[in-house]
C-alpha cells in the first residue's frame, strides 16, 4: 500500500535522521560483448566483476539478448538486474550540449540501478532499462580534449566574470545524465577513471551527481580540483517514498561532507554541489524543505574550522512528459507520485515536445523560497540556476 504524497504533513518529519547506506548493486546477470573485452578497460572491469563472483556471459556477436519479459514490469525487473559491458557506439563521441548543468554531456554508462519513481530516464532510454557501461571509456575521455575550449550556447551560470561566455574558463563535462555514476562505481571503476583524467587537465572540468554515498574509493584520487562532486537530494519524505535503492538522505549528506572535507581532515577536498531535485509542491512543502535546508546547514557546517567550503547549488522543479508518465506508470503502477497534468501547465520545447511543469505562480513562489532560504544559510555558495 502506498501513502499519497498529498497526505504527507509536517508531523511526519522524522526527529531522527535515517542513516542507511545504499545497498551495493549486484546484478544477477553480467554480459560482456566480445568487442568490450578487447578493450584494456573492459578487461579491468572483467577482473572487478570476476573478483565479486558474479556470473559472467560473453555475447560473441556483440548483441545483448534475453532482456524482454512477458510484460513491461517483467522486462523492467530483468533489465534492472542486468549489467551489460559494451563499447560506446560512434555517436557517443559526438558530444551534446547539456544546459544548464554543463557545457557537454559525456556518458560513461546508460541505465541506472536505482528505482526512482519519477526517473528522468523513463522515455529517454531506447529499449529495456538495462545498465550499459562503456568499456572504451578511456577513448571517450581522450576525445573530450577536442571539446576543451568550446562552449555551446549555455548562457546561464557559465559566464566569465566579465559576463562573456567562452574562451577563458574551463569547459565543463557532465557524466551523470543517463546513469548514477557512483551507483555502479564498485563494478566499473569508471568514475575514478574520469576523475583521474580530468585531474590532468587544466581546460576541462568534470561534473557528476549521485544519490549514493559510497565515496571512500574517491577520496584519495588526484582530482586537482577539476571535478565537482554533487549530490542529489530532496525532502526526506520524498526520498523515503520515491527513491528506491538509493542511500538515505542523511547518508548522502554524510557522503558529500566527506568529499568536501580537506584532505588533511580525512576528506577528499573536492569542490562540491548540492542538487535539490525534483522539487515538489507537496502539502506543507515549506516545512519539508526548511527541514532539509536546516539539515544541510548542520552537516556542512565545518567551514570555520576547515577553511572555505567550495560549494554551489542547483534547483530543479519536478516535470514530466506524456511519454515519461506512460513509461513510469508501467514501471511503478502503484506510485503515489502526482503526475496529474491538470495541476500543471504545458511547456513546449524547440523540437515541439511537451512537458508539464508547475503553474507560473506556484513556480515563482517556490523559486523565491529556495533562493531566499538558501542564501540566508549559505551566503558564499552561489545558486547556479532554478529550472
Ligand atoms: Fe533515475 Fe537518477 Fe533515480 Fe537512477 S538515480 S533511477 S537515473 S532518477
- For every residue of 186-253, DSSP letters joined together read HHH-HHHHHHHHHHT-SSEEEEEEES----GGGTTS--TT-EEEEEEE--HHHHHHHEETS--HHHHH
* 136 upstream amide cis, omega within 30 of 0: no
Which pLDDT score, from 0 to 100, does residue 11 have? Answer: 33
CA 107 to chain CA centroid, nearest Å: 12
Helices 360-377 & 285-299 angle (0-180, nearest 10)? 30
Q: Of the residues 22, 25, 109, 116, which should be mutated to test ligand 1's pocket, given the most ligand atoms within 8 Å of the CB?
A: 116
Q: Whose CA is nearest to atom 3 of ligand 1?
A: 116
**Which span out of 166-180, 227-241, 345-359 was modeled with the highest average pLDDT?**
227-241
Using the predicted structure, report yes or no on whether residue 305 has a pLDDT greater than 60: no
Q: How confident is the model at residue 127 (pLDDT cuts 50, 70, 90)?
A: confident
Which percentage of the chain shows pLDDT scores above 70? 91
121 lines ligand 1 (CB under 6 A): yes
Q: What is the CA radius of gyration of the chain?
A: 21
181 CB less than 6 Å from ligand 1? Answer: no
How does residue 76 score in pLDDT terms, banded at 50, 70 and 90?
very high
DSSP-derived secondary structure for 130-175: -EEEETTHHHHHHHHGGGTT---S--SS---TTS--SSSSPEEEE-
Helix (H, G, I), strand (E, B) or coil at 370: helix
For 81, other C-beta atoms within 10 Å of its C-beta total 15
Kindly report the CA angle at 337 between 331 and 342, in degrees rounded to 5?
A: 110
Query: Is residue 91 within 8 Å of residue 106, measured between CB atoms?
Result: no
Query: CATH number of the domain at 25-210, out of 3.40.50.720, 1.20.120.1200, 3.30.450.20, 3.40.50.12110?
Result: 3.40.50.12110
pLDDT given for residue 1 in this prediction: 35
CA 346 to chain centre: 25
- Determine the pLDDT at residue 165: 54
Q: What is the pTM of this model?
A: 0.92
The listed range with the strongest mean pLDDT (127-131, 166-170, 183-187, 302-306) is: 183-187
What is the percentage of the chain residues whose pLDDT exceeds 90?
80
- Write phi, then psi, for 111 (nearest 5 degrees): 100, 150
pLDDT at 81 over 60: yes
pLDDT-derived band at 12 (thresholds 50, 70, 90) equals: very low
In this prediction, residue 61 carries a pLDDT of 86
Q: Indicate if the pLDDT at residue 163 is higher than 90.
A: no
Instruction: Yes or no: say if 141 and 73 are a contact pair by the CB < 8 Å rule.
Output: no
23, 109, 112, 337, best to mutate for ligand 1 pocket (most atoms within 8 Å of CB): 112
- Cβ-based neighbours of 60, under 8 Å, separated by 6 or more: 34
Our answer on whether the CB atom of 112 is closer than 6 Å to any ligand 1 atom is: yes
Asked if residue 20 has pLDDT above 60, the reply is yes
pLDDT value, residue 5: 46
Do the bridges between strand 109-110 and strand 131-134 make them parallel or antiparallel, or are there none, so unpaired? antiparallel
Residue 263's pLDDT is what? 92
- Report residue 386's pLDDT band, with 50, 70 and 90 as the boundaries: very high
Residue 227 and residue 237: Cα distance in Å, rounded?
30
Write the DSSP symbol of residue 11: G
- Give the start-to-end residue ranges of the domains of the chain: 25-210
**pLDDT at residue 120 greater than cutoff 70:** yes
Q: Which residue has the cell 503553474?
A: 359
pLDDT band at 206 (very low <50, low <70, confident <90, very high): very high
| pLDDT bucket at 160, cuts 50 / 70 / 90 | low
Mean pLDDT on 50-70 = 92
pLDDT at 161 exceeding the cut of 60: no
- Give me ligand 1 centre to Cα 244, in Å: 9
- Ligand 1 neighbourhood includes 177 CB (under 6 angstroms): no
Q: Answer yes or no: are the C-beta atoms of 355 and 370 closer than 8 Å.
A: no
Is the beta carbon of 279 within 6 A of some atom in ligand 1? no
pLDDT band per the 50, 70, 90 thresholds, residue 154: low
- So what's the pLDDT on residue 9? 41
Report whether pLDDT(170) > 60.
yes
- With a 6 Å cutoff on the Cβ, whether 119 touches ligand 1 is yes
In whole angstroms, give the CA distance from residue 145 to residue 236.
39
Q: What is the mean pLDDT of the segment spanning 43-53?
A: 97
Which pLDDT value is given to residue 3?
A: 40
What was the pLDDT predicted at 339? Answer: 95
- In the predicted structure, residue 302 carries a pLDDT above the cut 70: no
Tell me the CA distances in angstroms from 329 to 110, 118, 281, one per residue in order: 21, 10, 20
- Condensed to tens digits (0 to 9), the pLDDT of residues 374-384 reads 999 999 999 99
Q: Which of 113, 98, 77 is nearest to 211 (CA)?
A: 113
- Cis, bond preceding 278 (omega within 30 deg of 0): yes
CB atoms near residue 21 (< 10 Å): 15
Confidence of residue 4 (pLDDT cuts 50, 70, 90): very low
Asked whether the predicted pLDDT for residue 303 surpasses 90, the reply is no
The CA-atom distances, in angstroms, between 119 and each of 112, 243, 316 are: 10, 9, 13
Q: Does residue 307 surpass a pLDDT of 90?
A: no
Q: How far is 233 from 21, CA to CA, in rounded Å?
A: 14
Q: Which segment of 21-30, 37-46, 99-108, 343-352 scores lowest on mean pLDDT?
A: 343-352
Amino acid at each position: 500500500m502506498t501513502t499519497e504524497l498529498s497526505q504527507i504533513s509536517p508531523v511526519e518529519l522524522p526527529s531522527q535522521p535515517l542513516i542507511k547506506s545504499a545497498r551495493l548493486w549486484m546484478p544477477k546477470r553480467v554480459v560482456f560483448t566480445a568487442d568490450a573485452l578487447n578493450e584494456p578497460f573492459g578487461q579491468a572491469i572483467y577482473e572487478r566483476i570476476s573478483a565479486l563472483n558474479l556470473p559472467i556471459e560473453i555475447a560473441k556477436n556483440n548483441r545483448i539478448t534475453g532482456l524482454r519479459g512477458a510484460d513491461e514490469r517483467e522486462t523492467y525487473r530483468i533489465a534492472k538486474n542486468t549489467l551489460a559491458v559494451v563499447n560506446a557506439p560512434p555517436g557517443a563521441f559526438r558530444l551534446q550540449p547539456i544546459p544548464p548543468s554543463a557545457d557537454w554531456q559525456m556518458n560513461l554508462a546508460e541505465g541506472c540501478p536505482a528505482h526512482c519513481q519519477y526517473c528522468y530516464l523513463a522515455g529517454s532510454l531506447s529499449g529495456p532499462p538495462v545498465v550499459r557501461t562503456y568499456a572504451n571509456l578511456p577513448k571517450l575521455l581522450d576525445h573530450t580534449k577536442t571539446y576543451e575550449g568550446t562552449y555551446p550556447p549555455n548562457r546561464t551560470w557559465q559566464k566569465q566574470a566579465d559576463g562573456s561566455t567562452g574562451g577563458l574558463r574551463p569547459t565543463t563535462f557532465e557524466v551523470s545524465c543517463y546513469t548514477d555514476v557512483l551507483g555502479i562505481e564498485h563494478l566499473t571503476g569508471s568514475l575514478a577513471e574520469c576523475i583521474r583524467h580530468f585531474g590532468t587537465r587544466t581546460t576541462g572540468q568534470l561534473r557528476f551527481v549521485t544519490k549514493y554515498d559510497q565515496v571512500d574509493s574517491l577520496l584519495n584520487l588526484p582530482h586537482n580540483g577539476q571535478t565537482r562532486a554533487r549530490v542529489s537530494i530532496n525532502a526526506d519524505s520524498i526520498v523515503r517514498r520515491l527513491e528506491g535503492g538509493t542511500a538515505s538522505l542523511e547518508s548522502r549528506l554524510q557522503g558529500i561532507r566527506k568529499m568536501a572535507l580537506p584532505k588533511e581532515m580525512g576528506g577528499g577536498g573536492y569542490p562540491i554541489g548540492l542538487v535539490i531535485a525534483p522539487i515538489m509542491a507537496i502539502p506543507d512543502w515549506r516545512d519539508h524543505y526548511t527541514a532539509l535546508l536546516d539539515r544541510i546547514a548542520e552537516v556542512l557546517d565545518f567551514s570555520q574550522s576547515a577553511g572555505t567550503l567550495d560549494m554551489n547549488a542547483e534547483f530543479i522543479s519536478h516535470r514530466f512528459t506524456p511519454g515519461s508518465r506512460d513509461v513510469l506508470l508501467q514501471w511503478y503502477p502503484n506510485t503515489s507520485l502526482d503526475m496529474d497534468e491538470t495541476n500543471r501547465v504545458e511547456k513546449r520545447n524547440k523540437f515541439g515536445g511537451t512537458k508539464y511543469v508547475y503553474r507560473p505562480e506556484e513556480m515563482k513562489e517556490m523559486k523565491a523560497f529556495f533562493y531566499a532560504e538558501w542564501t540566508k544559510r549559505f551566503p558564499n555558495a552561489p545558486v547556479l540556476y532554478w529550472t
